[in-house]
Every structure is written in structure tokens, then in C-alpha cells.
Chain A
């Protein structure tokens, strides 16, 4: 019988095909990329927080250079938000830092990600908006990364949330069940759990492309045209690194030209690589490599604060599904496979195994319950002969057969390398398990450190001896004591006190009935759709704001395209610091350098410079030029540059200066008068090494 003839599906119209292609190319992101992006973003956020800790008192308290009342009195921008304005005392600011740190850590591991990505944005905006006088492009870049990422489901993969969700939805009862595939994350719309479709996926790459496009377009000055830009940048004594100083004598005009053109060319080509609709996999791979190369080089030569790290933080979002497939293929090449013998009757051990099984995405670990091993069994390694066990219990046994006696298994887990037949126990076994997980070298590192290892073993033994108690304490099954389940489930045996040690739990239901997209109530589905519309609407509003701001603020935009921003756009730009003025070292690399110096006289007649003591490497650089590597952090770099012209902040500076004896604890350090100077010098042109035209201007005197 021939099957009934079906009419071929009509070919979609061109517009539909184009729309689909656009969605596929620009609005789609892999959930694993978003998750890796979350990790990268969190690390950059933590780095940003840590670099602010040393300047907490100086820039975040009223004992410092920028008191909250001064900034609120003459705010650098009319619309700003920062919860650090609440902090007047250093300990209050420190509390704010602790809160930020906890939020960033929670985001890093993906715990309550939906909430944390929003809180992280609030924390970041607060940290930056409190010190707008000293912020730079790196702060904007990081803020924008956090903003766009906040609209993406960052916790769908590689997160505590995903792990908890999987644990909740599939409840294994026996070691045999600890094999994948484990439940995929539930998505609102159903479908491929690794596929994210959102306008935010587009805006995050658009943001990156815009920043490179205008950074390249604005670099039209002679230093970039002639290729001397890198040479001049290396003579920025405030921010050059030791490597940059070392490079100065080797920086010939030819090398400077190569590096300058390379930087310019990379910036110019990056927008096309990022946004290319063709060969997307390869262009994005090239973009990732180019971004990492470009910003690593910047970081090597000059200290731009968090800028380089923030730009590198965008790269995980450029990874495509093809990249993840490639990573998977590479990772599966590893021939290391382990068999873990553990006490499945210990509730906590079993829960750890459940977690481990889910983290073992490449299926390298085989989990075996110790109850399944016959009394006094010896295991024959898969590829080697047999023998008897000897040697200390915590060493790696390389002999041919493995002792798996119940006596041993009652004391410790035993991890066996299937290929070599070696075994490890206690903390060493744990280290092996961790090593077998993706990026295992990182997780297992702490347990490989000798001192930690010796500490970890007694801890393991202490736990192993009490594992039944700990398990029942946490409400898990332990030996003959059943788990405290929500309610007796059909098929799940209630263990009597005289029940055997190896209860048959295999009959218990494996999958917990889940609230799938279909089984949700219409109300919940409606709420889900509403939330989706709200989220995408918010992204769209921010995208419009982004485009408005880009057209308004960048000089490279042709005049007919430039127009004044409406008030609501100004607000939406100002509050989250969505500033789009991209002109780093543009239109020209700086051909002069400047710094700030103070000549203060103490009550006992000494001359000192309290500002330089905290700002750089030289406690008293003087007025005869800028030392070759001041080593200012970006905060002091910007503060020194901006303070001379910002008279409204001079009073705060004076008060900070006069509190010098409070900081040193010596009454004789009382300052009786001081002058503050701006020191400038022209950087040496290519071929020379000595700065010229050293000059200074007094901008503040006291009394």
C-alpha cells in the first residue's frame, strides 16, 4: 500500500526566511555561552571589587577625598544612584563591600541567579556611581556588560540553580541510577534548553561592536596615522607598567608603527567579525582571539584599571553552539575513566554522588555502591592482571588487583582509575573525582597541595566515622534509617529497624512529576508570557537608549544623524551609566603627561606630599618632572587629571590633607600650609627618551 501523497510544505517567503536568519544569527545564544559569560562576568566583578578595597577609605568614606555630601552637593551627573551614598564611615562602606562580594560570589556559582544578576547590577552601579569623578571607560564597559547580561538566563547551565533543579526533578535511589542523561533545564517556551532567544543576545554583541567601531573611527589623529601612538602611550608615566618601561628603549618607530596599526586594525575589523552574518562561527572565533590578544597586550603595557578584563569578559558571549560541540569532542578524548566505590547507604555520600554525577558531563565516572561489592572482593583492573593489595591505605596502589573488602569500603570511598588500575582513597580519592570533572585541574588543585591534603584526610575520617549521624541529621537515609521524604511515595519502601543494609530502592520512582510548560496553569503560563514581554520590552527600551546615546555622544556620527536626547533617554543613560562615548586614546594618543603633586609643610617644618604617599610609587615625586613609572591605579590617574579643574571638590581635598596627622597618628605631622600643583611634561617624540618642557601650575593653596 502506498502512503497517501502529501503536498510539499510551501517554501517560506523571503521575508520570513530573512527574519529566521536574523533570529538565528543575532537573537540566539547558547545557554552554555551565557553561563560561561556569567562566570567570567562574576570574576571580573570580583576583581573590580577587590581593586577598590585598598581605596575604600579614600574614595568611599567621608574620611577620604570624595565625601558623599560633596558628590551629592555637586553631583557630576544629575541622575545617579548608589547605595554607597548611605555610607559616611569606612566601616559602613566596608559593609557595602561585603554585601557586593557576597552577591558576586552567588552570581559566580549561579545561586538564585535570576535575583543575583539584578543585585549584581545594582551593586556594580552603586560602586561606580559613588566615584564618578574617578571612573573610566573600563567602568562603563563593565557596567554595560552587567546590564545586558542581566536580561539573559545566565543560570540555565553550569550553576547551582541548574544542579538543584536537576536534583529536584530526578530523584535517584540507587547507584545504578547515577548515569546520565540527567534532566535538561526547563525552559519557559520548551524546546532546546541550550538555545536562548532574546533581544539581549543581540544587544550584548552590538554593545561590543559599537565600542570597537567608535574606538577605531575616532582614532584619526597624527599619532595613529603615523604609527607613533604606542610609543607615546608608553610615555604615560602614571599608568605604564614595568614591562612598558622595559619596552621603551626597544620601541623603535618601526615596532611602534606595527603595534599601533595592529591595534587600530584589530579595533576596526572587530565590529565586522562580531556582527558578520556569514561564517558566524569562524568570525566569532577570530573575534574572541583578537579581543583577548588586543586587551592582553594593553594590560601588559599599561594599567587601565578594569578596562581590559571587562572587554575580555564579553568574549564568552560570542561562543556559538559549534564551539561547545568542539569543546565536547576535545574533552571526550581524555581516556581517564574512574570507578568510584562509595557507601550508597550513607545519605550524604549518596547526595554527593548525585551532584558529582551531574557535574560529570563527559561521563568519565562510574558510581558503584559498596553494597554491590561481594565480601572481600578484589577488583581486576580492566586492562591489567591481578594481585593482592598491600601498602599504606592512602597511597596510590599501582598493583594489579584492588582490595575492595567491605572493611575498607566501610571506612572510605575507593576510586579506581580504570585504565591504569591505580586506586585512591579518602581526600586523594576526592581529588581524583574532582580532577575528572570539567576543568577538574582547578577544582582538584586545593586537595593536591600537601598541607591541605594532610588536613583533609583527618577531616574525611572524622566525617566517615559519623556519616550515618550526619546523614540522619540532615534528613537523609543512613543505613537502616529511612530518609525523611515529603510523604511516603508509592513504591518507596519504608525501612524497618531490622531492614537489610542494602535496601532495594530501585522500584522507587526515578522522575518526580514536573511542572512542565504544558502542565502549568494558564495563569502561570500567562504570567510567564507577561514576564517575557516585559523583559524583552525592557531590553528594547534600553536598546533604543543605547542607539540614541551612541548617535548623540560620538563625534564620528554624521551630523544629520545626531539629535538631542529626550529627557527619558538621558535618565536611562545616567542611572545605569550607559555612556557610549568610545574614544580611548582618540583622536590622538596623548603627547604629554601630567600628574598632581603637593608640597605640604608640617608643624615642625618638614616638607612632604601626603597625596603622592597614597597615590603612587613615589612618596615625594617633586616638581622636576614625572617619575618614569608613577604606578597610579586608574582611580588616582583620573583623580589627578580631573581635580585641578574641579574647584567644587577642592574643599574636600583640603580637609583630607589637613587630616594627615589623624592618619599617621603623629601630632607633629600637623600641616600648617600646602600648595597643590599640576605637573606636566611633553612626552619624548619617537627616537628620543627624555621628556621635554617640564612645567607646573599651582591650582590650590592653603591657607
Chain B
């Protein structure tokens, strides 16, 4: 029974962890990229949220962000560059544990610096990074895994390689963090479901109203609200509730869990993909999709393994084993060939070389042969075929199909091939009878020091420490769940927590109050407009010029599809009521001529106001009760 529980709730496939790492890394990179256009306006003191204002009136008493150190745009850009390096290394699984921790620090820094303009996407990333920190994300499909495999066979020979690379680490991971991750997914959807108690969700008009949020509606959302009948929107609303309600059960069920979790993953992916198509919630939808790979079980991986076509892409590669760099490259690529499609033959093994391959050609280039058709590829084209044979090969090989790139790659290959002996000796690798230098890279030369009893003792305690950490995370986040969600029954609600628990939640900003569009979808919409008068008498709206699709004045109603990014959706929602940020907003507006470069754009007076309206009820298409109120006036 215990073993069954352990297998159900504590065990997770290392391939799912690896895929999860890659997806999470991509989410982090996308999140970073979408912030780049706003470095000046969000992350520097030339923007709307200066560091001193946030530190003066922090949204939470305990807040952490490296970006608080950046006052100038170029300083913030430097931190962005550091974040990119961390996220990229995490994504490819280079020193995974270290870069996981650093990526967590960097993503927390990126979000906490601009909490005023953040939504729950940052929180979703945060909790995902916490749980996965206790799991070995780099054991498969990573640079670390390749390096470990290379180290495992230091004196590898071409014959050994032809027989196959050392088998990957297929141990399943058993950890409390796996349970934490499942509980986290269940908690998110459970509370998002049970806290949707409003009229719009009960009557099924919620999606209709969400599509009337002009700040976030996408072009597709706009089309849907105009052309899709209300009954279909009602199905979407109820479908959302249904998926959110079913997800916890599908994730936590103890029977058929291998497939119910897969179903949950598909449903949730569909849900978030649909939301992403209709409304712009920033990184939220992507972040939620980042949870899905962790729901895949060994059953799905077996299925994927069966579905992978093996024959069509099988290749035989004849390479120069005397060239150290070529041999090192082959050793690395062979370990990426997860589907064992490639047969590696050294050019010195005359007997194994397929018939029809010109021996003279082998002096100059790698030769790739399709064993089914005997078609041959050489130079960069050969490399393209090798890439194509790797998992997701189409993705890696397509750049080399582009005409310009292909010619360039072939030339680069020829240049390399002519100098490969020199390059090999340059890197201290063996080349045509020249032995490996003593100072050759360790990964290639081998030699792993054996562990001392002390080290073994420490290493043996590693899992215990990790599990203690995961257990502590479960305690801290459970307490937070019981504090932050109003649907928790009063008798279950935590009244007081130790200060350290609050700090552990606040610093990384991993709150657990899940109520997106809950209890009610918004029945009204609003936006911010600025009517600024320039020195030469023109009326301009510097705010919407910078952040919206439309900036025409005068504004009497919320414009159709403002096209705000999520930062500005949240910013314009909060700025009218947040007096402490008005000064910073005003200073940003007055710097308008610095941004445009026109001295005539100097602003002599301005009025900032909120425009609101009631969204049209189902069946109608015109908002009602348009109104506006001024929240800032200058001078």
C-alpha cells in the first residue's frame, strides 16, 4: 500500500522533469524578452516606477530584487543580460542546480521590482521554481547529462561508441517535492474553481464579459465577441469551470493516475492556450502551461517512444576519428541521439564503410548516408542530416536549409575541415598521431576522484536535506493557502503564522490566493487617459502613445482593443488609487520631450483621468454608462 502511494504521489519521471525544465526555461526567457521593450519605462528611474518610490512605499514590508540597484536604463539592461545567461543555462541544463537557484533569484528580481504592474504570472513561475528546486531537473536532456555520460566513459573508443553510449540515468525520482507539485496544481485549480461563485460564472456569461475587457482582449477575442453566439461563450465559461474543477481530481486521483494526469495536462494546456488566444494575460498563461510537463508519467513517455519514427531518419555517419575535435563532437552528438537513429563509423574502419562511399571524399568531409536509399550528404549538409536525426530534428536542422545560411555553413565547414588537425592540437586534443595533451579538458580526459567516506556521508544526507526542504515548503505553502483563500472554511483558516513563514512567502513573492476572474468576471472596464497640452498648444496623450494601440484625444469612452501588455493593464488599473506613485507618473509624463526628442513637446499642463464604462450584457454590443474622473492634474 505504502509502495503504491509512493509510486502514485512521490515518484516522477526524470524525462518529465527534464521536459519541465526546458519548458520552464523557455517561459523564463519569454518573460524576460517581453520585458525588454519596457526596460526604461518600468525598470529605470526614467520610468513610471522608480526604484526609490518602490523602496519608499514598498507593496510588502519584505521585498527583494537585484533590480533595485539599477537606477539608469543601462544598469537595468546589464541585469537583464545576467538574467538571460542564467535562464539560458537553466534551460539547456548547464550546472542545472546552480542556475536553477540563480534563475529563481533573477526571476524574483524581475517581478518584484515592478510588482505594481505585475499579475499572477510571476507568482505561478515562483511557486513552480520553488517545487522544482528540490527535484533533479538536469538528469536527462541536459548539458549536465551529456557531461556525466562523457565522464562515465573517459577513454571511449570509436568501437565502443558504435556499440552505443552509456545508458542514461533512468532512475525515477522519489521526493516530497513531487507531491508538493501535484498539490500545487490541484490547489491552483481548486481555488480558482470554488472561488468563482459570482453571477457571471453561474449564468455562463463570464467569458463574454472577459472579452469586453478592452485593455487585454486580443484580435481573436475581438472577433469572437463579435461573431460567436452567446451560447458558445456560455459553453466556454462552463467549460472553464469544469476543467478547473476536474483538474484537482484528475491530478490527485489514486486510480488510473498515469492517464488521468495526462488528460489533466491536455485539458489544462487547452484551457490556457484558449485563454492566451483571447486575452493577453502576460506571462500567466505560459507560466501555467509550464506546470503541464510535470504531469506526464512513464506511460506517456513509453507512448511517445513508440510513436517516434525510427526508420525514416536512420543515418550512417562516417567521420574522421583521428581528428580530435571531430571525435569530441561525435561523442557529444551521439549522446544527443536519444532514438539511436545514427550509426557512427570511423573512416579508419574500412570494413564497416558502406559501399558506394568514395574513400577520397572521407579525407575532406564527413559523409552521412541514408541506409535505406544510399543517398549521401557531405559537409554542412551532412551535419544538417545529423541534426535532423536527433529528437526534434526539424527544429535544429531548418536554419541550415535556408539558402544563405547553407552556403555559409558549407564554407565554414570547409575552412574547419582544412584546419581540423591544427584546431584539434590547439585544443589539446589528439590529431593524426599527435596524442592528447596532459592539460586537455577533464571531461574528455576523464578521471573522477573517488568520494571519501565523509563525502559519501554528506552525499547520503543530501536527499534527507532535500526532503526536509521540500517538507518545509509544503508546511509553509499550506499555511499560506489556508490564509490567502477566502473559500477555506473558517475552522481551517490559519490565524497566526510565525514571522519567518511570512518572510519565506513575501521575499520570493509566492502567494497562494488563487482567484483569477473570481468571484466574478469584471462587469465594467476602465482605462487611463492623459490629456496633456504641449508648449505649442497641441493635445497629446503621452501615456497611451507609449503603452497602447490607440492614443487619440479626446477620450470619452474606453477605446476598443487597447492592446495593452499585461504590465499596463495592471498599471492603469492601479495608478488612479495609488497616490504614492502619482509623483513618479507625473515626472515621467513631463519627460515627454526627452523621449520624443522634440523641444516643442514640452508639456505645460496635463490632466490624467480614468475612463470607465459598464460592459454590455450578453446579447448586446454597446457599452453603457460611460464616465470619467480626474485623478491627477498639473500644474
Q: Which residues of A contact B (CB under 8 A)?
A: 62, 67-73, 75, 78-83, 85-86, 88-89, 472-475, 484, 486-487, 513, 515, 519-524, 526
- Complex CA distance for A520 and B453, rounded to whole angstroms: 33
A88 touches B63 (CB 8 A): yes
A473 to B457, CA, bound (A): 9
B454 an interface residue at 8 Å Cβ cutoff? Answer: yes
Would B453 and A524 count as touching, CB distance under 8 A? no
Please give the number of chain B residues whose Cβ is less than 8 angstroms from any Cβ of chain A in the complex: 37
Closest 4 CB pairs of A and B: A521-B428, A475-B452, A72-B52, A73-B52
Known: A484-B452, A521-B426; 12 extra A-B contacts, CB below 8 A, are: A70-B52, A79-B72, A81-B75, A85-B69, A86-B64, A86-B69, A88-B55, A89-B62, A519-B438, A520-B428, A522-B426, A523-B428
Asked if B439 and A519 make an inter-chain contact with CB atoms under 8 angstroms apart, the answer reads yes
Q: Is the CB of A522 within 8 A of B425?
A: yes
Tell me, yes or no, whether B450 is within 8 Å of chain A by CB.
Answer: yes
- Interface contact B439-A520, CB-CB below 8 Å: yes
Contact A86 B437 (CB under 8 A): no
- Residues of the A chain whose Cβ atoms lie less than 8 Å from the Cβ of B240: none
Report yes or no: B449 in contact with A486, Cβ–Cβ below 8 A. yes
Contacts of A79 in B (CB 8 A): 72
Question: What's the nearest-Cβ distance from chain A to residue B370, in Å?
Answer: 36
- Contact check, A486 vs B447: say whether CB atoms are below 8 A apart: yes
Query: In whole Å, how far is A100's beta carbon from the nearest beta carbon of chain B?
Result: 16
- B53-A486 in contact (CB<8A): no
Q: Contacts A73-B56, A82-B69, A521-B427 hold; do A475 and B453 have CB atoms under 8 A apart?
A: yes
A469 (CB) vs chain B CBs: closest residue: B453
Q: List the A side residues contacting B450 at CB < 8 Å.
A: 475, 484, 486
A526's nearest neighbour on chain B, judged by CB, is B426
Counting chain B CB atoms within 10 Å of each CB, the highest count among A62, A69, A82 belongs to A69
Q: Which residues of A have CB within 8 Å of B425?
A: 522
Complex contacts, B55 vs chain A, CB 8 Å: 62, 67-69, 72, 85, 88
Give the distance to chain A from B403, nearest Cβ to Cβ, in Å.
33
Contact status of A513 and B453, CB under 8 A, knowing A85-B68, A86-B69, A88-B58: no
Report B439-478 residues with CB < 8 Å from chain A CB.
Answer: 439-440, 447, 449-455, 457
Residues of B within 8 A of A472 (CB): 453
B52/A69 in contact, CB under 8 A:
yes
Once A515-B438, A523-B427 are accepted as A-B contacts, the answer to whether A72 and B452 lie under 8 Å apart by CB is no
Chain A residues with CB under 8 Å of B50's CB are 72-73
Whether A83 touches B69, Cβ cut-off 8 Å, given contacts A473-B454, A519-B439, A521-B437, is yes
Complex: chain A residue closest to B71, CB-CB: A72
Q: Is the CB of B51 within 8 A of A513?
A: no
Contact B454 A474 (CB under 8 A): yes
Residues of the B chain whose Cβ atoms lie less than 8 Å from the Cβ of A523: 426-428
Most buried by A among B54, B438, B455: B438
Of A86, A487, A513, which is within 8 A of B447 by CB?
A: A487
Nearest residue, chain B, Cβ from A73: B52
Contacts of B452 in A (CB 8 A): 473-475, 484
Distance to closest chain B CB from A431 (angstroms): 28
**Bound CA span A596–B68, Å:** 32
Interface presence of B348 (CB below 8 A): no
Query: In the bound complex, what is the Cα–Cα distance between A69 and B54 (angstroms)?
Result: 8
Residue B631 at the A interface, CB < 8 A?
no
**CB distance A75 to B71 under 8 Å?**
yes
How far apart are the CA atoms of A595 and B65 in the complex, in Å? Answer: 38
- Tell me if B205 is interfacial: C-beta within 8 Å of chain A: no
Taking the complex as formed, is B45 at the interface, i.e. its CB lies under 8 A from any CB of chain A? yes
User: Distance (Å) between the CB of A550 and the closest chain B CB?
Assistant: 26
Partner of B439, one of A70, A83, A521: A521
Chain B: CB-nearest residue to A522: B426
Interface residue? B66 (CB, 8 A): yes
Q: Which residues B197-241 have CB closer than 8 A to chain A? A: none
The answer on a CB contact under 8 Å between B453 and A474 is yes
* Of listed B61, B68, B75, residue having the most chain A CB within 10 A: B68
| Docked complex Cα distance between A406 and B116 (Å) | 75
In contact, A473 and B453 (Cβ under 8 angstroms): yes
B437: A residues at CB distance < 8 A:
519-521
Fill in one digit per residue for B486-518: 1 if any A CB lies within 8 Å of its CB, else 0.
Answer: 000000000000000000000000000000000
Q: For the complex, what is the distance from the CA of A70 to the CA of B56, rounded to whole Å?
A: 8
Q: Which residues between 42 and 92 of chain B lie within 8 Å of chain A, taking CB atoms?
A: 45, 50-56, 58, 61-66, 68-69, 71-72, 75
Q: 24 A-B pairs, CB-CB below 8 angstroms?
A: A62-B55, A68-B55, A69-B52, A69-B53, A69-B56, A72-B45, A72-B51, A75-B71, A78-B72, A82-B69, A83-B69, A88-B58, A88-B63, A89-B61, A472-B453, A474-B452, A474-B453, A474-B454, A475-B452, A475-B455, A486-B449, A515-B438, A520-B428, A523-B427
In the assembled complex, the Cα of A526 lies from the Cα of B69 at a distance in Å of 36
B427 shortest CB reach to chain A, Å: 5
Complex Cα gap A89–B425 (Å):
56
Closest B residue to A485 by beta carbon equals B450
A530 to B: closest C-beta gap in Å: 13
CA distance A668 to B450 in the complex (A): 67
How close is A276's CB to chain B, nearest CB, in angstroms? 42
Docked pose: A75 CA to B75 CA in angstroms: 15
Q: 0/1 per residue, B117-159, Cβ < 8 Å to A?
A: 0000000000000000000000000000000000000000000
* CB–CB A81/B426 < 8 A: no
- Please give me the residue from chain A that is nearest to B53 by CB atom: A69
Tell me the bound Cα distance from A18 to B455 in angstroms: 56
With a cutoff of 8 Å between Cβ atoms, the chain A residues found around residue B453 in the complex are: 472-475
Q: What A residues does B75 contact at CB under 8 A?
A: 81
Residues in chain B near residue A486, CB distance under 8 A: 447, 449-450
Residues of A near B426 (CB, < 8 A) are: 521-523, 526
A355, chain B: closest CB distance, angstroms: 18
Which one of B51, B56, B447 has the greatest number of beta carbons of chain A within 10 Å? B56
Chain A residue, CB-CB nearest to B427: A523
Q: Which of A75, A88, A472, A474 is most buried by chain B, counting CB atoms within 10 A of its CB? A: A88
Nearest-neighbour CB distance to chain B for A30, whole angstroms, equals: 28
Which chain A residue shows the least CB distance to B441? A521
Among residues of A, the one whose C-beta sits closest to the C-beta of B438 is: A519
- Residues in A neighbouring B64, C-beta threshold 8 A: 86
A69-B53, A73-B52 known; A522 vs B68 contact (CB < 8 Å): no
Structural contact, A513 and B428, CB atoms closer than 8 A: no
Query: How many Å lie between the Cα of A69 and that of B58 in the bound state?
Result: 10
What's the minimum C-beta distance from B522 to chain A, rounded to whole angstroms? 33
B449 nearest in chain A by CB position: A486
Q: Cβ of B439 and Cβ of A515 under 8 Å apart? A: yes
Residues on A with beta carbons closer than 8 Å to the beta carbon of B427: 521-523
Output the nearest chain A residue to B422 by Cβ-Cβ distance.
Answer: A522
Q: Are B56 and A86 in contact (CB under 8 A)?
A: no
Whether the pair B454, A475 counts as a contact (CB closer than 8 A) is yes
**Contact status B69-A81, CB under 8 Å:** yes
Q: Give the Cβ gap from B293 to chain A, nearest Cβ, in Å.
A: 33
User: Measured between alpha carbons, how far is A520 from B437 in the docked complex, in Å?
Assistant: 7
Report how far A524 CA is from B438 CA in the complex, Å. Answer: 12
Nearest residue in A to B62 (C-beta to C-beta)? A89
CA of A639 to CA of B449 in the docked complex: distance in angstroms? 56
Q: Which residues of A contact B71 (CB under 8 A)?
A: 72, 75, 80
Cα A520 to Cα B440 in complex, Å, equals: 8
Q: Mark B234-254, 1 if CB is under 8 A from A, else 0.
A: 000000000000000000000
On chain B, the residues within 8 Å of A82 by CB distance are 69
Contacts of B438 in A (CB 8 A): 513, 515, 519
Closest B residue by C-beta to A75: B71
Which B-chain residue is minimally distant from A62 (CB atoms)?
Answer: B55
The residues of B that contact A513 with a CB separation of less than 8 Å are: 438
Closest residue of B by beta carbon distance from A470: B454
Chain A residue nearest to B67 in the complex (CB): A86
Kindly list chain A residues whose C-beta atoms are within 8 Å of the C-beta of B428.
520-524
Chain A residues with CB below 8 A from B62, complex form: 89
Q: Please indicate the chain A residues that have their CB under 8 angstroms from the CB of B72 in the complex.
A: 78-79
Closest CB-CB distance, B442 to chain A, in whole Å? 11
Taken together as a complex, chains A and B put the C-alpha atoms of A85 and B64 apart, in Å, by 10
Q: How far is the CA of A522 from the CA of B426 in the complex (A)?
A: 5
